[in-house]
Chains A and B, each alone.
Chain A
Amino acid sequence: MCGAPDQAALLPAGTDLTKETVLAGRVVSGDKPVGGAFVRLLDGTGEFTAEVVSSASGDFRFFAAPGTWTVRALSRSGNGEATLSPESPGLHRTEIAVA
Chain B
Amino acid sequence: MSREDVLVTADWAEKNLGTEGVVFLEVDEDTTAYDGGHLPGAVKINWTTELQDPVRRDIVSQEQFAELLSSKGVANDDLVVLYGGNNNWFAAYAYWEFKLYGHEKVVLLDGGRKKWELDGRTLTTDVPERPGTSYTAKPADASIRALRDEVVEAIGTKNLVDVRSPDEFSGKILAPAHLPQEQSQRPGHIPSAINIPWSKAANEDGTFKSDEELTALYGEAGFDAGKSTIAYCRIGERSSHTWFVLRELLGHADVKNYDGSWTEYGSLIGVPIELGSK
Contacts and interface: CB of A to CB of B under 8 A. Distances in A.
Interface string B150-180: 0000000000000001110000110111111
Interface residues of A, number: 26
Interface residues of B, number: 27
Given A47-B197, A49-B165, A51-B87, A63 B181 contact: yes
A32 interface: no
B182 A19 contact: yes
A53 B197 contact: no
Chain B interface mostly: loop
A43 B165 contact: yes
Contact of B177 (A38, A53, A63): A63
A53 B30 contact: yes
B181 A43 contact: no
B204 interface: yes
A36 B177 CA distance: 19
B270 interface: no
A62 B178 contact: yes
B85 A53 contact: yes
Interface string A11-48: 01001100110010000000000001010010101011
Contacts of B197: 47-48
A76 B118 contact: yes
Contacts of A75: 118
B118 A63 contact: no
B86 interface: yes
Contacts of B85: 53
Contacts of B176: 49-50
A15 B180 contact: yes
A65 B173 contact: yes
A49 B120 CA distance: 26
A74 B206 CA distance: 11
B178 A16 contact: no
Given A48-B197, A53-B30, A76-B120, A63 B167 contact: no
Contacts of A47: 165-166, 197, 199
Contact of B181 (A12, A20, A52): A20
B114 interface: yes
A36 B167 contact: no
B117 interface: yes
B178 A41 contact: yes
Interface of A: 12, 15-16, 19-20, 23, 36, 38, 41, 43, 45, 47-53, 61-65, 74-76
What are the 4 A-B residue pairs with the smallest beta carbon separation, nearest first?
A48-B199, A50-B177, A50-B178, A62-B177
29 contacts: A16-B182, A19-B182, A20-B181, A23-B177, A41-B177, A45-B166, A47-B165, A47-B166, A47-B199, A48-B197, A48-B200, A49-B167, A50-B178, A51-B86, A51-B87, A51-B178, A52-B178, A53-B33, A53-B85, A62-B178, A63-B175, A63-B179, A64-B177, A65-B181, A74-B204, A74-B205, A75-B118, A76-B117, A76-B120
